């Protein structure tokens, strides 16, 4: 039961609205039963046709107001008879209709205000969850996303959050409105006829058993459906991002078949889920109807025989109140189904929100606002997954002095990029230690550390925004003249001015409106504007044509002036002038030295150099 209502933990910031929602649901339940109960004196008015009967009731005098069925009935009949004698039946009927109308109006007003105060809870929780999931996604280390599909992550932030929204609405109704309506209705039924109400209690355990049996597997089926839907999302995301490759390799049929297969699996799961969920309502309604018919028969016999002190009018009012129990029971069964699906979504969302983030600031970290001496790798080893057979990096010892350009070379997969990614703490060491200016990276505040580092990657990571905003990304209140100056240093200013709206031109998804060289120069301009003392260049020119490479290389040379640079390169011609070249082979530091020294060693570097035909 505790787990059933666990989704309510998301409403803790909306206690005021939750309280008001509960309050108006209570009003709704009271006025719902009250408006029906008022039909009893109306029916008595119709059944009692002789004026002498009304006079006899009045002659007995006003009865004492007593909170039981007989006392309330006598009190109502006395005043009703008095009004009939004094003003006539039409006037009495008008009064009853007016009271019933007011009660119904209050009931519907209460229902509206209950939903009115539920609206900010539903939407506020959705907003909060998406904010938390986005914040958590930005905080989690890069290693987390190597095991997660982007499509599944997006599915959790969209469809699963919507399921939570519905679960909250249904849970609030399941806990407060519907049970309260049933309880008040049952209390009224007991008040009218305790004996007849015994039959009503047959309804609750039978209907509850039916709901439990039918809904038992909804949670597991729903979780499976969401997992498959995440696969669908992932295929769509990958397809839209790789349309050029798909078309170039005529892979349309392959992608379509893959999508249709997953889509068919999702359809099959969804059909079964809906069928099972839709089965609970008709079954529970059938059970309730059977009990109501039993009440109708038993109550009718009591009226015919004159047993149990039940008049015809009281019985009809009793039956009308008993009928009110049917809708809330149907609502409870539907709410229970939705809550089960919501629990599956909650588990998927919590998997992200509760994911462990090993790369966090220690208590009272040291802030770094400048870079003075150098970077040291001391016996550093690292593996992406703990328990791997081997380390990606093994016993790396390396010193990078301030102001020097260090090139990392080696075969693909040797660990070059991983080594560079450890400097801004995208990953943490498993063994050993990395220091900046003699301070361990783990002792430094992460934000201040990363402000000292600029990164230019092989794939230009740009956003669907203006050129100006892409260059100034992550910086606040930047003078436009500084943006233009950074673009000039990056050899980007001229082509930017040729764009339709200059610096205000939107470059499309991932910068798709620009060429590869143009995108890379925008990335370099972004790094120049940040003006970091430490620079990481990860194969920044390897994907460019000759002319673009020359322009980008010139921009990179401008960027690296007076900075400490770590350059990852496959094209060895771009790093022959580096202060030191470090050769990484199978995760180990194999060689290091200048270009000339490494050629003279006639080792791995010379072999790589010769393979690229640089004489």
Taken as a whole, the chain contains a residue count of 615
Same domain? For 67 and 210 the reply is yes
Q: What is the pLDDT of residues 212-234, one digit of tens each?
A: 665 555 656 666 776 777 777 77
Q: Say whether both 461 and 341 belong to one domain.
A: no
Tell me if residue 561 falls in helix, strand or coil.
coil
Count of structural domains within the chain:
2
Query: Maximum distance among all alpha carbons in the chain?
Result: 129
Q: Single out the residue in 328, 353, 378 at which a domain terminates.
A: 353
Tell whether the model's pLDDT for residue 323 goes beyond 80: no
> Does any domain span residue 513?
yes
Write the CATH number for 332: 1.20.1560.10
d(CA 598, CA 499): 45
The pLDDT of residue 111 is: 86
- 379 in Cβ contact with 466 (< 8 Å): no
**Which tokens in the block code for residue 490?**
């990056």
pLDDT at 378 over 90: yes
pLDDT digits (tens, 9 = 90+) for 175-214: 677 777 778 777 777 777 777 777 667 666 665 666 566 5
Domain that holds residue 482: 453-531
CATH code of 482's domain: 3.40.50.300
Where is the domain boundary, 288, 321, 353?
353
3-state secondary structure of 32: helix
Tell me, yes or no, whether 569 lies in a domain: no
Say how far apart CA 343 and CA 18 lie, in whole Å. Answer: 20
pLDDT computed for residue 206 by the predictor: 66
Say if 66 falls within a structural domain: yes
> Are residues 180 and 32 located together in one domain of the fold?
yes
- Calculate the dihedral angle through the C-alpha atoms of 227, 229, 233, 238, rounding to the nearest 10 degrees: 70
DSSP E strands: which ranges in 81-240? none
**332 and 465 inside one domain:** no
Which residues, at least 6 apart from 436, have a Cβ–Cβ distance to it below 8 Å?
A: 368, 371, 374, 375, 376, 423, 444, 449, 452
Residue 583 lies in a domain: no
Structure tokens that stand for 396 in this block: 């790396």
**What are the E-state strand segments in 336-425?**
374-382, 393-401, 405-409
Please give the mean pLDDT across all residues of the chain: 77
Cα within 13 Å of Cα(225), Cβ side: 22
Name the pLDDT band for 614 (thresholds 50, 70, 90): very low
pLDDT at res. 546: 61
Are the C-beta atoms of 7 and 340 separated by less than 8 Å? no
Same domain, 35 and 169: yes
Residue 588 within any structural domain of the chain: no
pLDDT band at residue 63 using 50, 70 and 90 as cut-offs:
low
For residues 152-170, give the mean pLDDT.
Answer: 74
User: Binning pLDDT at 50, 70 and 90, where does residue 284 land?
Assistant: low
Same domain, yes or no, for 95 and 223?
Answer: yes
Inside any domain, residue 518: yes
DSSP for 77-108 reads HHHHHHHHHHH-HHHHHHHHHHHHHHHHHHHH
Q: Quote the pLDDT of residue 389.
A: 59
Residue 425 domain-assigned (yes or no):
no
CA trace torsion 135, 138, 140, 145 (10° rounding): 120
pLDDT digits (tens, 9 = 90+) for 24-34: 888 888 887 77
**Phi-psi bin for 384: left (phi > 0), alpha (psi -120 to 50), beta?**
alpha
**507-546, pLDDT tens digit by residue?**
887 778 888 778 888 888 888 888 888 888 887 665 555 6
Domain co-membership, 116 together with 264: yes
**Domain finish residue from 325, 353, 381:** 353
Tell me if 570 is assigned to some domain: no
pTM: 0.68
């Amino acid at each position: 039961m505790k787990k059933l209502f666990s989704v309510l933990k998301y409403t803790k910031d909306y206690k005021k609205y939750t309280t008001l929602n509960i309050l108006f649901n209570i009003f709704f339940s009271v006025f719902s039963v009250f408006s029906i109960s008022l039909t009893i004196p109306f029916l008595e008015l119709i059944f009692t046709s002789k004026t002498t009967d009304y006079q006899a009731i009045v002659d007995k005098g006003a009865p004492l107001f007593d909170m039981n069925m007989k006392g309330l009935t006598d009190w109502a009949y006395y005043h009703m008879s008095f009004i009939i004698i004094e003003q006539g039946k039409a006037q009495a009927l008008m009064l009853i209709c007016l009271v019933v109308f007011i009660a119904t109006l209050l009931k519907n007003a209460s229902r509206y205000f209950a939903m009115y105060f539920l609206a900010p809870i539903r939407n506020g929780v959705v907003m909060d969850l998406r904010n938390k999931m986005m914040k958590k996604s930005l905080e989690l280390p890069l290693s987390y996303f190597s095991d997660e599909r982007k499509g599944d992550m997006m599915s959790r932030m969209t469809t699963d959050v919507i399921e939570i929204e519905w679960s909250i609405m249904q849970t609030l109704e399941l806990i407060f409105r519907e049970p309260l309506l049933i309880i008040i209705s049952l209390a009224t039924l007991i008040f009218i006829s305790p004996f007849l109400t015994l039959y009503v209690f047959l309804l609750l355990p039978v209907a509850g058993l039916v709901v439990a049996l039918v809904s038992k597997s909804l949670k597991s089926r729903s979780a499976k459906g969401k997992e498959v839907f995440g696969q669908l999302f992932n295929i769509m995301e990958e397809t839209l991002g790789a349309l050029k490759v798909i078309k170039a390799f005529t892979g349309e049929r392959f992608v379509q078949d893959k999508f249709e297969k997953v889509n068919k699996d999702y359809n099959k799961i969804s059909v079964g889920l809906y069928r099972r969920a839709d089965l609970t309502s008709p079954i529970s309604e059938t059970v309730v109807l059977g009990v109501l018919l039993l009440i109708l028969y038993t109550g009718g016999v009591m009226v015919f025989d004159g047993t149990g002190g039940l008049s015809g009018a009281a019985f009809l009012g009793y039956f009308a109140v008993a009928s009110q129990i049917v809708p809330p029971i149907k609502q409870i069964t539907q709410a229970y189904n939705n809550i089960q699906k919501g629990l599956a979504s909650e588990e998927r969302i919590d998997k992200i929100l509760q994911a462990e983030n090993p790369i966090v600031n220690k208590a009272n970290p040291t802030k770094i606002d400048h870079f003075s001496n150098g970077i040291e790798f001391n016996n550093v080893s690292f593996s992406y997954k703990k328990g791997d057979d081997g380390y990606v990096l093994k016993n790396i010892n390396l010193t990078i002095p301030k102001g020097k350009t260090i090139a990392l070379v080696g075969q693909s997969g040797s660990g070059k990029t991983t080594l560079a990614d450890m400097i801004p703490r995208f990953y943490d060491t498993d063994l050993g230690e990395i220091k900046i200016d003699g301070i361990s990276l783990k002792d430094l505040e992460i934000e201040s550390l990363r402000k000292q580092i600029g990164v230019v990657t092989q794939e230009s990571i740009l956003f669907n925004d203006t050129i100006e905003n892409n260059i100034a990304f992550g910086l606040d209140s930047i003078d436009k003249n500084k943006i233009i100056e950074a673009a000039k240093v990056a050899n980007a200013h001229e082509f930017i001015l040729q764009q339709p709206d200059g610096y205000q031109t939107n470059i499309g998804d991932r910068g798709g409106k620009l060429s590869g060289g143009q995108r890379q120069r925008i990335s370099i301009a972004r790094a120049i504007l940040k003006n970091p003392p430490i620079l990481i260049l990860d194969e920044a020119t390897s994907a460019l044509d000759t002319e673009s490479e020359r322009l980008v290389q010139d921009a990179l040379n401008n960027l690296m002036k007076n900075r400490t640079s770590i350059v990852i390169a496959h094209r060895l011609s771009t790093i022959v002038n580096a202060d030191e070249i470090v050769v990484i082979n199978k995760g180990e530091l194999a060689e290091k030295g200048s270009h000339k020294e490494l050629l003279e060693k006639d080792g791995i570097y010379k072999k790589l150099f010769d393979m690229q035909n640089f004489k």
